[in-house]
Amino acid sequence: MTALKEGDKAPDFKGIIENGSEITLSDYKGKKLVLYFYPKDNTPGCTAQACNLTENQTILKEAGFEILGVSADSAKKHTNFIQKYSLGFSLIADEEKEVIKAYQVWGPKKFMGKEFDGIHRTTFVINEEGVIERVFTKVKTKEHANQILESYK
C-alpha cells in the first residue's frame, strides 16, 4: 500500500502519545526506530503484535531498536491498551490520521467481503539518520520481533 521504500527519507511527524505528551521523529535521532502502524487497540492481531514486541523488547533494545506504535485510537484507548497488556512502549493517538497518511498506510481494505478505508498493518525501521531501512507490509503479528531481527542477519 505504501509507496515509501527502503532508502527513502522517513516523513517527519509530530504526534500525541497516550499520556498527552508530544513526540516527533527527531526525538529518535541517533536511534533506530521500529515505527509500526496497526488498525485498532484490543483486537486479536493488534494485541498479538503489541505483546510480541513487548515480550521481545529487551532483545530489540539490545540490538539498538526503540519501538513506537501508531493507530487512530484515542490517547485514552491507548492508555487502557498499554495497561491491560503491560506494553513497554508508547503509542501515538493519531485520530486525525496525519502520521498515518504521511506514511501512506491508510486506504481501501477488504474484510469479510466488505470494502472500507482503514490502516494497512505496516512497520518501518528508521535508522539513526532518519532514513527508512526496512519496510514490512506482510507483518507476522505473533512473531514480528523475530521478523525484524532476522531481516538484519
**Given this model, what pLDDT does residue 80 score?**
98
The whole-chain average pLDDT of the chain stands at 96
pLDDT digits (tens, 9 = 90+) for 58-103: 999 999 999 999 999 999 999 999 999 999 999 999 999 999 999 9
Task: Tell me the percentage of the chain whose pLDDT exceeds 90.
Answer: 93
Contacts of 83 (CB under 8 A, 6+ apart): none
User: Catalytic: 51?
Assistant: no
- Structural domain contains residue 44: yes
Q: Tell me the pLDDT band of 114, cut-offs 50, 70 and 90.
A: confident
**Tally of domains in the chain:** 1
- Structural domain contains residue 86: yes
Q: What is the extent of the structural domain holding 118?
A: 14-150
Q: How many CB atoms lie within 10 A of CB 87?
A: 21
- Structural domain contains residue 106: yes
- Structural domain contains residue 127: yes
Q: Tell me the pLDDT band of 108, cut-offs 50, 70 and 90.
A: very high
Pairwise CA distance, residues 91 & 85, whole Å: 13
- Structural domain contains residue 7: no
Query: Would you say how long the chain is, in residues?
Result: 153
Q: What CATH number corresponds to the domain at position 107?
A: 3.40.30.10
- What's the pTM? 0.95
Pairwise CA distance, residues 119 & 72, whole Å: 8
DSSP string, 82-144: HHHHT-SSEEEE-TT-HHHHHTT-EEEEEETTEEEEEE--EEEEE-TTSBEEEEESS--GGGH
Among residues 33, 46, 93, 102, which one is catalytic?
46
- Structural domain contains residue 5: no
